[in-house]
Chain A
Amino acid sequence: MIKSLLLYFRLISIQIRSQLHYRFPFLLDLIATGFITLLGFLSLVFVFQRFGHIRGWTLAEVAFLYGLVDSAFGLMDMVFSGFDPQAFGRKVRFGQFDQMMLKPVNLTLQVFSSEFILRRLGRILEGTTIFIISIGLLDMTWTFGKLVYLPVVYFSTVAFFGGLFIIGATVTFWTIESIEVVNIFTYGGTEMMSYPMHIYQDFLRRFFTYIIPAIFINYYPALYFLDKPDPFNMPEYAYLLSPIVGFGILSIALAFWRVGIRHYQSTGT
């Protein structure tokens, strides 16, 4: 275990050093990455001036969701870069994954350390900034429970998106082509979870409650943090489900990943 961790950090540090080699393009890339999501949020700030609220939620309350999800997704996107379904699909197509199978190191560890896209820091910084500003604007009553639960929710969100990435990567064992539809769940999921779930059409919300239970990841915790009533009359403990769903999806994804590896047949390239 310790040996694996040391190896992981070694491989990652090589990745980081090579990305930092061209400082100026890296800086531009970093800014661009943060900018993309920042401008999305800015357009929301602008329209809020005309509309005032979105189904009873103020801008600061939406920012609480938006910042948390963006920051967590950014962190996931950096740590799980190797599993990014698009990049991973390319590795399968071009036979790079076959090369990994020949090396005497745990495969999952190899994929984890095969990529570490540092410019995602831009999104993490952007999301965290929005989140901190929202906390400053909100008049929240902090309790001990909330303080403890906040990092739990954050890392559950990271685990949840990581699980989706791994599932998307595993699917390419069978499809070979990376399938773009996976984007609906990963990028679509982030976009969706950036807003309070009660603004969505019933069928969409039901799908993200009962099929992919994203609603428990951050919406119910947000109701708890912001002391808001539950419009759907779920059991009172619903807000506590975040880590169970987040790490649950990640475990299912890892199990699916192992099945995928066992059934994998090379393309021959």
Chain B
Amino acid sequence: MRLFWELVLTSFHRQLAYRAAILAGLATNFFFGLLRLAVLVALFGDQIAVEGVSKQAAITYTGLAQAMIGFLSLFSWYELMNTIYTGGIASDLLKPMGYFTYWLGQDVGRALAQLIMRGLPIMAAYAIFFGIVTPNSPAQWVAVVISLVLALLVSFSWRFLVNLAAFWYPNALGIGRLAFTLSLFLSGFLMPLRFFPDWFQRICAFTPFPYTINTVVEVYLGVLPRDEVILSLALQLIWAIILMLAGQIVLRAGIRKLVILGG
């Protein structure tokens, strides 16, 4: 366990080294947030609330979604895939800890750095310029934090799984792009899932994706009754476990296929 936290810390510090990149990411995320905010506000028009979401909550949603891009590495994450292609995986497999745990530790460090350096500033800017809604009880704040942790677990396990495709394909980038696109759409990143048709929401609920962004957003905005909050958190946990197990099975099959050439 100590080793795990050391990994988290190292990875956290490594992220902080890329200050210029983080600043650029921040500016880009904020600008796109402006555009998304304008679209949602224009759609609302004179309506005060739609599907239990107030205009101010919708504005907050665009901030939250943009703030989570870095935290969950929503658009792309191919680090593991690259080590399979370069052969770096050989030394990673020899490390005195599980392969999944090794990458999880790094991702937790990365995610924490992104949350602090990119997520929080975006929310702060939103609070200053547009005004945001905030959870109104300590219990709700606790639920938000738990939901964020579980969202990271679900998201990481999914990204881990996608990267393993590199064991079977000489260029799995296309598969990766398809996978990331799909998760953007079904996770409620592009639009709050509540605004989608009911039949489509039901389809989404059968996939792990809403349990990354949509759940965090709904818990944060307080649009769910208490027992539904608990149910959502439980579903996040269940999906995290399912994806982790799937990752282990696929990893084992992949390693059996892996041939590492000396030299």
Which A residues are closer than 8 A to B by beta carbons? 22, 25-26, 28-29, 31-33, 35-36, 39-40, 42-44, 46-47, 49-51, 53-55, 177, 179-181, 183-184, 188, 191-192, 195, 199-201, 204
Proximity bits, B187-207, A CB within 8 Å = 1, else 0: 000110001110010000000
**B177 and A46 form a contact (CB under 8 A):** no
Stretch at the interface among B86-94, B108-116, B168-176, B228-236: B168-176
Interchain Cβ contacts within 8 Å, total number: 96
Q: Which residue of A is nearest B189, CB measured?
A: A43
Write out the residue numbers on chain A whose beta carbons fall within 8 Å of the beta carbon of B173.
29
| B43 interface contact, C-beta 8 A | yes
Smallest beta-carbon distance A117→chain B, Å: 13
| B142 interface contact, C-beta 8 A | no
With A35-B181, A46-B195, A47-B191 as known contacts, state yes or no: A55 contacts B42, CB within 8 Å: yes
In the complex the two chains form, what is the Cα distance from A40 to B32 in whole Å? 14
B50 touches which one: A50, A188, A191 (CB < 8 A)?
A50
Write out the residue numbers on chain B whose beta carbons fall within 8 Å of the beta carbon of A191.
32, 35
**A46 and B196 form a contact (CB under 8 A):** yes
**A195 and B197 form a contact (CB under 8 A):** no
| B254 interface contact, C-beta 8 A | no
**B185 and A54 form a contact (CB under 8 A):** no
**B169 and A25 form a contact (CB under 8 A):** yes
Taking A26-B174, A184-B27, A199-B41 as given, write out 13 further A-B residue pairs in contact, using a Cβ cutoff of 8 Å, ordered by the A residue number.
A28-B175, A39-B185, A39-B190, A47-B43, A51-B195, A180-B21, A183-B28, A184-B28, A188-B28, A188-B32, A188-B35, A191-B35, A195-B35
In the complex the two chains form, what is the Cα distance from A11 to B177 in whole Å? 27
Smallest beta-carbon distance B202→chain A, Å: 13
**A188 and B169 form a contact (CB under 8 A):** no
| B245 interface contact, C-beta 8 A | no
In the complex the two chains form, what is the Cα distance from A32 to B178 in whole Å? 5
Which B residues are closer than 8 A to A by beta carbons? 20-21, 24-25, 27-28, 31-32, 34-35, 38-39, 41-45, 47, 50-51, 169-171, 173-175, 177-178, 181-182, 184-185, 190-191, 195-197, 200
With A28-B178, A50-B50, A180-B28 as known contacts, state yes or no: A43 contacts B196, CB within 8 Å: yes
A-B contact pairs, 21 of them (CB 8 A): A26-B174, A28-B174, A29-B173, A32-B177, A32-B181, A36-B181, A39-B181, A39-B190, A42-B185, A43-B190, A46-B191, A47-B43, A47-B196, A50-B195, A51-B47, A55-B45, A188-B28, A188-B31, A188-B35, A200-B38, A204-B38
**A195 and B174 form a contact (CB under 8 A):** no
In the complex the two chains form, what is the Cα distance from A183 to B24 in whole Å? 10
With A25-B169, A35-B181, A177-B20 as known contacts, state yes or no: A47 contacts B174, CB within 8 Å: no
Q: Which residue of A is nearest B186, CB measured?
A: A39
**B28 and A49 form a contact (CB under 8 A):** no
With A28-B175, A184-B28 as known contacts, state yes or no: A51 contacts B50, CB within 8 Å: yes
Main SS at interface, chain A? helix
With A36-B181, A50-B50 as known contacts, state yes or no: A180 contacts B25, CB within 8 Å: yes
**A199 and B38 form a contact (CB under 8 A):** yes
Smallest CB-CB A-B distances: 4 pairs: A180-B24, A199-B42, A28-B174, A29-B174
Smallest beta-carbon distance A246→chain B, Å: 21
Write out the residue numbers on chain A whose beta carbons fall within 8 Å of the beta carbon of B184.
39
Write out the residue numbers on chain B whose beta carbons fall within 8 Å of the beta carbon of A28.
174-175, 178
Write out the residue numbers on chain B whose beta carbons fall within 8 Å of the beta carbon of A50.
50-51, 195
**A181 and B171 form a contact (CB under 8 A):** no
In the complex the two chains form, what is the Cα distance from A183 to B27 in whole Å? 10
In the complex the two chains form, what is the Cα distance from A40 to B35 in whole Å? 14
Write out the residue numbers on chain A whose beta carbons fall within 8 Å of the beta carbon of B32.
188, 191
Write out the residue numbers on chain A whose beta carbons fall within 8 Å of the beta carbon of B35.
188, 191-192, 195, 200
In the complex the two chains form, what is the Cα distance from A249 to B190 in whole Å? 31
Write out the residue numbers on chain A whose beta carbons fall within 8 Å of the beta carbon of B171.
22, 25
Smallest beta-carbon distance B45→chain A, Å: 7
Q: Which residue of A is nearest B201, CB measured?
A: A46
In the complex the two chains form, what is the Cα distance from A47 to B197 in whole Å? 8
In the complex the two chains form, what is the Cα distance from A184 to B195 in whole Å? 27
Q: Which residue of B is nearest A28, CB measured?
A: B174
In the complex the two chains form, what is the Cα distance from A24 to B169 in whole Å? 11
With A28-B174, A180-B28 as known contacts, state yes or no: A46 contacts B38, CB within 8 Å: no
**B39 and A54 form a contact (CB under 8 A):** yes
In the complex the two chains form, what is the Cα distance from A191 to B182 in whole Å? 19
Q: Which residue of A is nearest B179, CB measured?
A: A32
Among B21, B25, B44, B178, the one with the most A-chain Cβ atoms within 10 Å of its Cβ is B178
Q: Which residue of A is nearest B40, CB measured?
A: A47
Smallest beta-carbon distance B230→chain A, Å: 28
